[in-house]
Amino acid sequence: MLANGRQLDDLTGRPRAMNVSQLRNFDEYLGLLRDARDADGLYLAVVERTALFTDNTATTVELPGSFERIARSTDAARYQRREAAVPLWESHLLPGRLFNVNLRRSLKITD
């Protein structure tokens, strides 16, 4: 996948906006800002489609169904599951340049 930072954040399930009620302290807010990808340049990423389970700002990949059912039964608004692309590898290319592009190509891997 070749995309800019914001598009890759959207495709990988990183929220663009966060409710203040979901942040437990100021350190989480700073961590959220640090984890966002840069808006300049392009990102080349190898991704895999998977299920993400979110607890406010924390994201877990492929959480077992039993844990998910227990968590969602306690607070469905706080715990959410969604399909997203998880980067297996990524590289930031051409930093400092602005692009508005999203290019996807499928890659089939066989044994």
Could you identify the residue written with the tokens 């877990």? 60
Dist. CA 56–CA 42, nearest whole Å: 28
- The pTM of the full predicted model, rounded to 2 decimals, is 0.56
- Please write the tens of the pLDDT for every residue from 29-44: 787 777 778 878 888 8
What separation in angstroms does the CA of 4 have from each of 47, 73, 88? Answer: 14, 37, 17
Q: Percent of the chain, pLDDT > 90?
A: 1
